[in-house]
Structure 1
Amino acid sequence: MSINTLYGPETLSQFLAINFDYIIVGGGTAGLLLAARLTENPNIQVGVIEAGRLKKDDLNVDDPARLARTLYNPEYDWLYRSTPQTGTNDKVHHVARGKLLGGSSGINYMAYCRPAAEDIDLWETLGNKGWSWKELMPYYLKSQSLETVNGMKAPRGQTLCRDVPQSHGHRGPILTSYPRRRALFEKRVIRAFDETSNIPRPKDPWSGRPLGLYDHLSTIRRDDGATRSYAASAFLYPNFRRENLKVLTEATVCKVLLDKQFKAEGVELFCAGTMHRIFASREAILSAGPVQSPRLLELSGIGNPKLLRRADIDCVLPLSDVGENLCEHPMTSITYALDETKSSRDNLHLCQEACDDDTSDGVSLMAFLPYSSLVSPKELEETVSKVTQSTQLLEQERDSVIARLRDPGSGALQFNGITAMVDIGVGHADQSKLIADTSGHENTYYSFHVTTTSTLSRGSTHVASSDPFAAPAIDLGLLRDPTDVDLLCAGLEFADKVFSSSHVSDQVVTRVIPSPDVDLGDREQGCRFVRDWTTSFNHLLGTCAMGRVVDERLRVKGISGLRVVDASVIPTQISGNIMATVYAVAEKAADLIKEDCDLSTEYY
């Protein structure tokens, strides 16, 4: 490791003495990728400022089986909490955000999932030129590398795809892999799911059409055991020797510095007990994530004048959409107890602590199903009618949701199979407890996570005061729109039918969650359960949305020399887990910055 790359409170003065071209605020999922790409040019000096610490060789981060130890742990997690959510019976939810180099890619469930092409094409329909599936797809490939067998383009591990998918990257820094093993009971689940859904398995679900049941791909390196592949291991550690890349940890950026011409000059930061200023000759870039990036804009006087006034912050530039449009996937679940004599504990992983090899293999199945295949034509049209009355979406978003609900070839609900008991009752408040420890139980368990793809509900995140260390007010907007509840109810009813199939029913002891007395075919009962058993999926995005807060080149509207590059710029909800798309957005952003600033093509 080069001692000239990493800085902390003890070497702060050295960091502050450097003349930077770019300052990147946030060494997380997008920020570290961006820093790696910009410093490919040795003449460009980049400084990254991160509030968390370096966690290199930290087993809690690197070992997938120790994931739970990072959640709700102040060493790794910001421990944010939502405002009381009316849609979930006023529950307050844990909002997990990574507090380390690597950001949330260092504490998440490592799911590598790409959305439907129509999700990305909607960005361009909303007026963001250059942001279509066709134009973003090369950036998915650029960041990813699929684990193969002996260098051949054949995936290792368990795979349901008969043909080798063609839409994977093979040279990117983020390493992805299929599960190495599958629980014996899950083979029965696969047959039951296929039969109940009557949807063919996709040949290449990463090509923009993720419909049907397929394998859960994880950002895990498996060439020597199992190791998390995340932003720090992929984009920082291999580049420690670059003299033009400097990273400051344990430093909190408090505001963006603006001159009288509304140009970003640099940032103000708190480190080693005092405030400091540091400047960038070209640009300041916010990559602090969907909570912190809008918060920094507001602390800098950029936002809704009324909200800023209430927080005792002078408004420098009115931009009312800052912090609005928060999109989040609502997640509910269903769990069954299994007959242990027919489904032994050797074949089912129980919890983080009980897994002796690779917890990620406990989540090996993923599926997307069309809503129109799960409900009657009458219920479908009733749901569509509700969407037309939604006041939280733009007209183009409503049209897109309606088209998806009616389209038998478009996935409106996502399912994840996991060999564990999912406890949202406890886990909503502390996600380290989302997977229940059932090591002392008589039975083993199997669960489905169920979520929507095009969430209609919207929330917000805003400063609560001018204090840069005060917790933000995060309104997840969970189940604010009743249509989201209807979709989750339909998903749970389908999952219940899967477990009634003859392929699995002889091994099912009972349904544990919800209790057997809840009739999931009755929408009223289903809705009551969903509102009581739904939480955040940690897929927050949209709070500095393209077209609203930033333009199509991710420049903050009305301010020069300031961009946002992270999940907050994604303008509307996308299918599935968002990490792969955040990497792709950051890859494209790096090229946009290079174009705009006419950077030299001389690279390392």
Structure 2
Amino acid sequence: MPTAEEPYDYIVVGAGSSGATLAARLSESGAYRVLLLEAGTEESNYFWSRVPVGVSKMIDLPAVNWCFSAEPDDGSGGRRIEVPRGKMLGGSSSINGMVYIRGQAQDYDHWAQLGNRGWSWQDVLPVYKRMENYDGGSDELRGRKGPLRITDTPRHKIPLLEKMIEAAQKIGLPFNPDLNGATQEGIGMSQVTIAKGRRQSTAFCYLDPARGRANLVIGKGAMAETLILEGRRCVGVRYAVGGARREARAAREVVVSSGSINSPKLLELSGIGQGELLRGLGIAPVHELKGVGENLRDHYSPRVKFAITERNATFNDNARGWRLAREAIKYALWGEGFLATTSVPIRMYFRTRPGLETPDATVSVLPFLYERVGHERRIARRRGITMNINVLRSESTGSIHIKSADPAEPPAIRFNFLSARADREGLLAAIRKGRELMATSPLKEITGEEIAPGATLQTDDELLDWVRNNAETTYHPVGTCKMGADAMAVVDNELKVHGIQGLRVADASIMPTLTSGNTNAPCIMIGEKCAEMVLAAATAQDRRKAA
């Protein structure tokens, strides 16, 4: 564990999808001393983190999950919605569903149009290509030699999915062989961060190769409590390990990569944020930034469920008894089968109304039903499928703010789901698209009852009421330290915190809007791009000193 006397050039707070990537890249040349602080533990301590199907074991495990929950509100029917976030090396990349989706070119072009120069699709594409190691798609759009191994979910090993592809084509959605290619529209197999049956987390792909570097120090079990500010400059971090308080100093920069929940929390604990809120909690405001903790967005997702009548068509038939034993043997010997597969092997992207240039909604299919048994999610005995349905670029915004000056207290998460009319209308259209798919041959011949929401619910009001009382997130919180130049922006286009020197934020919190899909890939890209900018600034600074 680092000590206060050790000098560092850079401190990275948080070893998740962005932070692990950033620390590995900053330490790559050997020229700079880097400290990476992580509140959690080693990914390698948990066998189920390596096994793709182990997501069901990890996503509710307090030892590796912050286990946040949102405040009740109208959009959630007064419920507390679970908000799992990874708490270990690799962060959420070590507990997530491993789906790799970059999003649409329009997502990033919109960021650039908001004033964020350097973040258009043509700007970020080279970064994606640098990080990818993928065999499919075109050389123009896909990377081949990066640290992050990406593979396609096998298409023909789950017969049910072939029926889905055929049915989707009949309702106007073509098969798309590369959902990260030139277009996202259509139905396609999920690209995943899985290779040879092993999860490809940032802990595995970025940190493990970097561990032998003498200039990289990884501090685990290190809970960041506050940033050390001298005037308007950040010079270090105070943190706790097992109750003992320590501090570390950075000669060049501190980068906060603690995620959309913990990054605004750390800024507020340090006196950076809304002055009135901070004073009310007994924290002396150091720098007024109204946008800290605001602009929270996530993909709100009802789980639509159908019974399937055909034997062995879903994973429900392979999750018990001798079939499960057979799957375990397949995994142990060849790294294949059910245990080596993402829970969401197929998805479709589509437009919910005429006039849209690109898809605005998605249906992701889990070829099984699951149930909660205590704190664990398990595959149900009943045969069926689950559809995760959501609009891609949610317009409903909420907030995340600390509730006290105690670093151990979780912040208040307020999603404000369904507050935007476009989200309500988009979700209704997407639910009906999922129903249309299941009512189309050859799917309809093996589809039983609609388990949820149930065929009796048909009107907009009935369906929205069901969504409010049953939907979950898809675990993609973004935006709470958004990038931009407006009054509510927290960082600029170089991810520097407005008004504070020596401090950047690099994680999902900087996204001004949601990307069209899962957010793990964009978070890794943000870590890569931040490292590029930090190293360029260091080179420029060194040249000025030498001149």
Fold shared, TM-score > 0.5 on shorter chain: yes
The answer on 1:285 being equivalent to 2:252 is no
Q: CA deviation at 1:107?
A: 0.5
Return the letter of the residue paired with 1:593. Answer: V
The aligned residue for residue 158 of structure 1 is none
Query: Which runs of structure 2 are paired with 1:452-491 in the superposition (5 Å)?
Result: 452-491=391-430
**Structure 1 residue 166: Cα displacement:** 5.2
Q: CA deviation at 1:533?
A: 2.2
* 1:447 CA drift (Å): 2.4
Distance 2:415 2:167 in 1: 34
* C-alpha separation in 2, matches of 1:329 and 1:90: 18
For 1:582, the equivalent position in structure 2 comes to 523
What's the offset of the Cα at 1:531? Answer: 1.7
2:384 counterpart (434, 442, 445) = 445
Matched, 1:216 2:190: yes
Query: Are residue 191 (structure 1) and residue 166 (structure 2) matched?
Result: yes
C-alpha contact 2:50 2:198 (8 A) present in aligned 1: yes
Going from structure 1 to structure 2, the CA distance change for 1:472 and 1:581 (only over 3 Å counts) comes to same
1:182 Cα offset (Å):
3.2
Q: How does 1:310-389 map to 2 (within 5 A)?
A: 310-341=280-311, 343-344=312-313, 356=328, 357-359=337-339, 360-372=341-353
In structure 2, the partner of 1:511 is 450
SS of alignment partner, residue 137 of structure 1: helix
Shift in CA distance, 323/362, structure 1 to aligned 2, threshold 3 Å: closer
State the partner residue of 1:416. Answer: 364
Q: Within 5 Å, which residues of 2 pair with 1:399-438?
A: 406-407=355-356, 409-421=357-369, 432-433=376-377, 436-438=378-380
Aligned to 2:93: 105
Do the aligned residues in 2 keep the contact of 1:335 with 1:422 (CA within 8 Å)? no
1:336·1:509 contact (CA, 8 Å) conserved in 2? yes
Could you give the per-residue CA deviations for residues 521-549 of structure 1, whole angstroms, max 9, x where no partner exists? x2222222222221111101111000100
Q: Which secondary structure does the structure 1 equivalent of 2:534 belong to?
A: helix
Change (3 A) 1:345 1:566: closer
Residues 87-126 of structure 1 correspond to what in structure 2 (within 5 A)? 87-126=75-114
Tell which deviates more after alignment, 113-122 or 357-366: 357-366
Structure 1 residue corresponding to 2:119, chosen from 104, 110, 131: 131
Supply the distance in 2 between the matched residues of 1:263 and 1:297 (Cα, whole angstroms). 13
Instruction: Return the letter of the residue paired with 1:213.
Output: I
Query: What TM-score comes out, normalization by structure 2 length?
Result: 0.91
Aligned residue number for residue 332 of structure 2: none
5+ residue gaps, structure 2: 329-336
How far does the alpha carbon of each residue in 1:362-420 deviate from its partner, in whole angstroms, 9 at most, with x for none? 422121101115xxxxxxxxxxxxxxxxxxxxxxxxxxxxxxxx31x410101112111
Residue deviations 1:50-73 (CA, integer Å, cap 9, x gap): 110112263111011221111221
- Aligned partner of residue 371 in structure 1, secondary structure: coil
Q: CA deviation at 1:75?
A: 1.1
Equivalent pairs counted in the alignment come to 525
Q: Normalising by the residue count of structure 1, what TM-score does the alignment of the two structures yield?
A: 0.83
Q: Alignment partner of 1:236: what SS?
A: helix
Kept after mapping to 2: 8 A contact 1:335/1:447: yes
Q: Which residue of 1 aligns with 2:43?
A: 55
Quote the Cα distance in structure 2 between the aligned partners of 1:314 and 1:89. 36
* Cα distance in 1 for residues equivalent to 2:442 and 2:264: 49
Q: Sequence identity, in percent?
A: 28
Distance 2:77 2:163 in 1: 36
Q: 1:273 to 1:101 in 2, by over 3 A?
A: same
Residue 190 to residue 202, structure 1, CA distance change in 2 (3 Å): closer
SS in 1 for 2:363: strand
Secondary structure in 1 aligned to 2:384? Answer: strand
Amino acid at match of 2:261: V
CA positional deviation for 1:347:
8.8
Please report how far the alpha carbon of residue 361 of structure 1 lies from its aligned counterpart in structure 2 after TM superposition.
Answer: 4.6
Query: After the TM superposition, which of the residue ranges 227-236 and 475-484 deviates more from structure 2?
Result: 475-484
In structure 2, the CA distance between the partners of 1:361 and 1:284, relative to structure 1 (3 Å rule), is closer
Structure 1 residues 138-157: aligned runs within 5 Å: 138-146=126-134, 148=135, 155=136
Label 1:552 to 1:348 Cα distance change in 2 as closer, same or farther (>3 A): farther
C-alpha separation in 2, matches of 1:498 and 1:37: 44
- Whether 1:297 and 2:267 are equivalent positions in the alignment is yes
> What is the alpha-carbon distance in structure 2 between the residues aligned to residue 580 and residue 344 of structure 1?
30
Give yes or no for the alignment of 1:561 onto 2:502: yes
Deviation at 1:199, TM superposition (A): 3.0
Specify the SS of the correspondent of 1:334: strand
Cα drift, residue 581 of structure 1: 0.8
The offset of 1:36, in angstroms, is: 1.0
Does 1:178 find its partner at 2:156?
A: no
Letter in 1 for 2:518: N
Q: Following the alignment from structure 2 to structure 1, what is the Cα–Cα distance between the partners of residues 395 and 90? A: 30
Letter of the 2:309 counterpart: D
CA contact (8 A) 1:457 1:479 kept: yes
Structure 1's 179 and 348: CA in aligned 2 closer, same or farther, altered over 3 A? Answer: farther
